[in-house]
Amino acid sequence: MPPVKGAQKALRLSLPGAPETWHYIPGLPGLFHPVTPTPVESIGLADDEAKAFGDNESLHVELVDVTADEAKAANEALAAAGFEALSGVRSALPDRETSEERDRLLAGAASAKAVNPNQED
């Protein structure tokens, strides 16, 4: 398919059987969804970085083109998901004992913060 004029690059989760929810992928900034693509600009990636992630089959994301309207809708959904994820992580942290689990949750919180940078700590 030829590129769409004015298209923006986005990454979409391509993991077979993944539920239609937002997912955190270790090693990638942001959150990813199997239906709603994540615009690469929104998570601070250059197009070439996003292409490298999309080419890495072990990450289960694919590089796609989206229109400006699709990118705007995706950014709104992503901001809401980031807020939910950050709220969930905050509520889970006080009850966690192991440093490994705490580190994993904090990494998820940092990813959520990356997609919703205006969120208060």
Q: List helix spans (H) across the chain.
A: 47-55, 68-92, 99-115
Q: Residue 114: is its pLDDT beyond 60?
A: no
Are 59 and 38 a contacting pair, CB within 8 Å?
no
Q: What residue spans define the domains of the chain?
A: 8-115
pLDDT band at 93 (very low <50, low <70, confident <90, very high): low
**Which residues on neighbouring strands pair with residue 62, listed in sequence order?**
12
DSSP 56: -
What's the pLDDT tens digit per position in 101-113? Answer: 667 767 766 766 6
- Here the tokens at position 105 are 């949750």
At residue 1, the pLDDT reads: 46
What's the pLDDT tens digit per position in 14-64? Answer: 999 999 998 989 989 888 999 999 999 989 999 999 999 999 999 999 999
At residue 107, the pLDDT reads: 73
- pTM here is 0.69
At residue 10, the pLDDT reads: 96
Higher-confidence residue of 97 and 6: namely: 6
